[in-house]
Amino acid sequence: MATVYLSAKLPAIATKILDQAKLDYEVFDGEGLITKDELLKHVGDCQVLITPLSTQVDRDVIDAAPQLKLIANFGAGFNNIDAKYARSKGIDVTNTPFVSSTATAEVACGLMIALMRRIVEGDHRMRTIGFDGWAPLFFLGHELAGKTLGIVGLGSIGSAVAKRMHAFNMKIIYTQRHQADPATEAACSAEYVSLDELLKRADVVTLHCPLTDETHHMIDADQLKLMKSSAVLINCARGPVISEAAVLDALNKGEIAGAALDVYEAEPEVDDAFKKLDNVILTPHIGNASVEARDVMGKIVANNAVAALQGDLVKYVVNK
C-alpha cells in the first residue's frame, strides 16, 4: 500500500508535486465515485488521505488507517469528514478555502441571469418546438437592474457575488450571524438586514453560507412564504441548507417564481419533480468547476501532503 492515497483523480499539478517530492502514492482509477469498501481496502498503511468532498471519511475509514496523519480534503467544505473524531486520533483535517470564490460566484451570477431572463428555458424551446418569430409579449423575463439581491452569507463567495451584481445595478442586502465590517460592506455596497427582512425584500435570494446545525433547512416552508411571489432562489452553498420538499411545494403553488440549484439534499440524487418545472435550472455541483480553481486546489492538497510527511506545518487545518 502507498504512503499517500488519492481517492479520486485530481488535476495533473497535484500528482506532479507528489512526484517531485518523490512520495509513494496511489490513485483510485475506477469508474465513478469510490465506494466505502474500496476506500477501506486502500487506507490501511497510508499516512495521508487526499479525498474530494464527495467521499465520506467516517470513523470506520479513520479507524482503518492507524498511521494516518492528514486528511486533505479537496474542497472548501468538509462535512464529508468526521473532523472531530479525526482530531481525537491526532489527525489533521485540511480544506481548500478561498480559491473557489471567483468560480462559484461566477456560476451563481450566471444562474441568476439565466433564470431571470429564461435563457435555459429558451434554449430548450429552440431545441424542441422552436418559435414563430419575435413578438412584443413573447417569452418575457425580468431585468436584474434595479432589483434587490439578498445574499445569505457575505463571506468570500458572497462578497464576490455582491461586487459583480452591484455592477448590474442591483441593490445588495445581506444577512449572516454577525454583521460584516464597514469596509466589507462598503466594498460590496451591501446593507445588513435580518433573514426575515431579506426574504421579504429580495427579488433574488442567493445562498452562500456553510452547512451547520443552525443552517440546516434554514430555508423551509415558513421562510419561503416570506418571499415575493415574483422572487427566485439560488443555491450554490450546500443542498441541505434548503428544504427541497418545501421549495418544490412553493414553486408548484406559485409562492416563488423560480429556483436554480447547483447542490442537492441527497446529492448526487435530485428529485425528479424539479426536472418537470420550466422555471427551475439544475446544474451538477459545478460551482468551483473551473480549470483555474481546481488547479489551485490540487496544489494545496498536494503541498499539504508533502508538508505532513516532511514534518512541516500544513495549511488550512479545520479541526484544531
Q: Which residues are tagged catalytic?
A: 238, 267, 285
CA distance 139 to 225: 26
Return the sign of the alpha-carbon dihedral for residues 141, 143, 149, 151: positive
Considering only CA atoms, which of 69, 73, 65, 68 is closest in space to residue 43?
A: 65
- Any residues with CB less than 8 A from the CB of 68 and at least 6 apart, and which? 43, 46, 47, 48, 49, 62, 86, 89, 91
235: enclosing H helix or E strand: strand 232-235
Using an 8 Å Cβ cutoff, are 141 and 116 in contact?
yes
- Give yes or no for a contact between 192 and 175, defined as CB atoms under 8 angstroms apart: yes
Contact 289, 3 (CB under 8 A): no
**Nine-digit cell at 127?**
431545441
Q: Where do the H-state alpha helices sit in the chain?
A: 12-20, 36-42, 59-63, 83-88, 101-116, 119-127, 156-166, 182-188, 195-201, 221-224, 244-252, 272-275, 291-309
| Structure letter (DSSP) for residue 31 | S
